[in-house]
Structure 1
């Protein structure tokens, strides 16, 4: 165990109000058991405040909920706050991943000669542009975000990222990145009795539940899941689609509800809305089939979604579109579909054969991922890498 370090996290989210915790929550809450971890608060979200072990510093001057407006107009203030935290709290190392706030983080750390780990948790140019429909606006955002991200990466001490594909993609742009995959809280996510869980979430214990858990946004083809229900019902009358989560910045979930009503499937679909993180294992264990219907090709090639680890830790069958890094980890419980026919046929087999699995995903626990991150921190600080 190394010395106690003073770490500053610059999160990609509103750390205490965002309804869906990111990898930085899981890793840094674990690190905070052994180190002093600080985080600036970007007040973008309006969700319920979560408990944290981190020392929170208010960093919002203009509390716009639009991420574009919020981070653009607050950028100078973010720099001042981050610079002050580094100086006043005698920060040893800065960890983060953000576009504009990331630039403020890197610039402030450079000014105070503090090393930076830039932890790229997804491909920011595409993820930032995904919320917009206008083609010209999307391309403008994509181009701008990439220019800023490239500057952030080139001025960081070390780069880490979440998937082998992102490591390779960064290498194509000339950046060397270390791999620390996403993980799962194995103290929360473990197999439970499916029938009991169904009753506890308000479903018939005899129903056959196809489920999705996560952000209900357009990069997941949930509308396709809905359209396949009538065919699945032809051999599985008790089928039910359980959609756990909400839309954060778009109206996609409202579009899905309209689609359900137009197909007269209201009795076969449940929208739960957003749920607390500690409630998700109950909902996942109520699912007979868990889905990852990731759609955009540019994301499929670099994605390694948290939900894969969470579903797996619950030993649930997974039906996923082809995601190379998910397939590389694999497991007997993972089934890949490339078309609606393949999806329906796999559901039929799982339904008829009542497939069950015992999956050990302890090697992907967040405790282990935090230890991997801690090792990187110690390598930098003990070697005085700058």
Structure 2
């Protein structure tokens, strides 16, 4: 089954296609969902998609949903966007595609060769470095170095407050 969560610009068109071809049992369109329900949908997914056009708006951005997908341990099939590629690189649980037909082909490859779980684990490992604990530790270290260099004395930051 294909589960499409949310309502984008093409939601009405997708709904028409779903009905026209009698695909209600194959394609589930949830419409808008509250944010607190997203983990339920991620848990149900085998993989997640980031379909996007490489345009002026999307060219260099990194949607937060990619981090959410990866933190849930899901492999991500994503459009080859420069911002996403720069942020995540290769072999980190993101499989890049250039066009819609590749999504089906790559999905079938992942299922056939049994690498869904492996790709999901790579994604989860990679994104762990962006946890709030790690970000906080890095930020504290930067502040501590800044204080030490500015005042050339003991750090002003107390540990473990």
Deviation string 1:80-138 (CA, Å, 9 cap, x unpaired) is xxxxxxxxxxxxxxxxxxxxxxxxxxxxxxxxxxxxxxxxxxxxxxxxxxxxxxxxxxx
Q: Summarize the Cα distance change of 1:314–1:322 in structure 2 as closer, same or farther, 3 Å threshold.
A: same
Report the CA distance between 1:369 and its aligned residue: 4.6
1:338 is aligned to 98
Report the CA distance between 1:275 and its aligned residue: 2.6
Deviation string 1:317-367 (CA, Å, 9 cap, x unpaired) is 111110223223134421111123322221111121232121222211245
- For these two proteins, the number of residue pairs brought into alignment is 136
In 1, distance between residues paired with 2:128 and 2:34? Answer: 22
1:246 is aligned to 7
Q: Summarize the Cα distance change of 1:341–1:270 in structure 2 as closer, same or farther, 3 Å threshold.
A: closer
What pairs up with 1:190-339 in 2 under 5 angstroms? Answer: 240-247=1-8, 252-328=10-86, 329-330=88-89, 331-339=91-99
In 1, distance between residues paired with 2:62 and 2:80? Answer: 11
User: Does the 8 Å contact 2:4/2:27 carry over to 1?
Assistant: yes
User: Does the 8 Å contact 2:7/2:31 carry over to 1?
Assistant: yes
Deviation string 1:301-327 (CA, Å, 9 cap, x unpaired) is 211011111111112111111022322
TM-score normalized by the length of structure 1: 0.32
1:185 is aligned to none
Kindly name which structure, 1 or 2, has the bigger radius of gyration based on alpha carbons. Answer: 1
In 1, distance between residues paired with 2:107 and 2:54? Answer: 23
1:197 is aligned to none
In 2, distance between residues paired with 1:301 and 1:246? Answer: 21
In 2, distance between residues paired with 1:362 and 1:283? Answer: 20
Q: Summarize the Cα distance change of 1:263–1:274 in structure 2 as closer, same or farther, 3 Å threshold.
A: same
1:88 is aligned to none
CA RMSD across the alignment: 2.6
What pairs up with 1:71-150 in 2 under 5 angstroms? Answer: none
In 1, distance between residues paired with 2:68 and 2:108? Answer: 23
User: Does the 8 Å contact 1:241/1:268 carry over to 2?
Assistant: yes
Choose from 99, 106, 113 the match for 1:353. 113
Unaligned runs of 5+ in 1: 1-239
In 1, distance between residues paired with 2:129 and 2:136? Answer: 12
